[in-house]
Amino acid sequence: MNGAFKVLGRHMRVFRRTWKHNIMFNVVEPLLYLSAMGFGLGTFVQEINGMSYLQFIAPGMIALTAMYSATFECTYGTFVRLHYQKTFHAMLAGPITVKDVILGEILYGMVKSIIFGTVILLVVTALGQIKSPAALFIPLLLILQGLVFAVLAMCYTAYTANIDFINYYITLAIMPFFLFGGLYFPVSALPGWVQAINWLNPLYHSVELCRALSLGQMSADLWTHAAILALMGLLLIPIPVKLMEKRLIS
């Protein structure tokens, strides 16, 4: 694990140089969604479960940012380092294992989720959409959200042969997460079987957590959502490690 933090150290050095551009990409996009949907669609939607439409979707933007930040870092970012820049090969010549490299990548995805998710949390707070001090727990939960999306992305990146194929992951995994995750409408509106599948959708659990904490709707369900995220993330970690070992060590 010590090696993984050294790998993270390298990434953080890069991050200190590039965070301003990263903010543009990771923060502005959710804000565009929020304003277009909140103010546009929101004028047609009266109320959802007693909330204004803007209030309903605002907490989801935090989860969305966490998903995008970790996903893009651990797909395109990782693939470029693996394939084009040969950063991993260089690191492996030092006292570092493939496992360290992969855990370092995942940690970086998590850091980005936490930082950018928190930025959105602050923005949403400034817009007056946070109703409860329980929202202070959101950055803590962003750790789990970052973990899940970083690990899932890493599984695909370790498997894919070509950078263009990352689009499949974005279209076939991230887009369904996004559309059915309960960001823009309550998942209870979906057919029963879709709701059942949705239990495998990490964004659904993330959105539920962010929304409940923003509004102070505390319940035992929150533990279930958090536990599912943690389990998904932790159980899948060996997959990218094994795939990358096969790929990097001949």
Partner 1 sequence: MTDIIKAENLAKCYRDFRALKGISFTVKEGECFGFLGHNGAGKSTTMRMIYGLSTVDEGRLSLFGQDIKLTPPEIKRLMGIVPQDDNLDDDLNVLDNLEVYGELFGISRSETTERSLRLLSLMGIDAKVSSSIDSLSGGLKRRLVIARALINNPKLVILDEPTTGLDPQARHLVWQKLRGLKNEGVTLILTTHYMEEATQLCDRLVIMHEGSILAEGSPKELLERHILPYVIEVHAPLDTIPPDLTEKITCAGGEVLQIIDGLFLYTKDGENLWRQLNDWGLPQHACYMRPTNLEDVFLKLTGKGAEA
Residues binding partner 1 (CB under 8 A): 2-3, 6-7, 9-10, 13-14, 17-18, 85-87, 89-97, 248-250
**Helices (H), ranges, 53-137:** 53-72, 78-79, 87-92, 98-126
Sign of the torsion formed by the C-alpha atoms of 200, 204, 206 and 212: negative
Q: Rank residues 21 and 126 by Cβ distance to partner 1 and give the closer one.
A: 21
Closest to partner 1 by CB, 90 or 235: 90
- Which of 6/242 has CB closer to partner 1? 6
Residue 21 burial (CB count, 10 A)? 9
Closest contact distance (angstroms) between CB of 112 and partner 1 is 15
Query: Which of 8/154 has CB closer to partner 1?
Result: 8
| Shortest reach from residue 81's CB to partner 1, in Å | 8
Q: Find the shortest distance in angstroms from Cβ 7 to partner 1.
A: 8
Long-range CB contacts (< 8 A, 24+ apart) of 80-85? 80/163, 81/105, 82/157, 82/244, 82/247, 83/163
Contact 66, 125 (CB under 8 A): no
Question: What token pair was written down for 36?
Answer: 């277009």
- Least distance to partner 1, CB of residue 76, Å: 13
The CB-of-205 to partner 1 minimum distance in angstroms stands at 33
Are the beta carbons of 111 and 146 closer than 8 angstroms?
yes
**Of 15 and 185, which has the nearer Cβ to partner 1?**
15
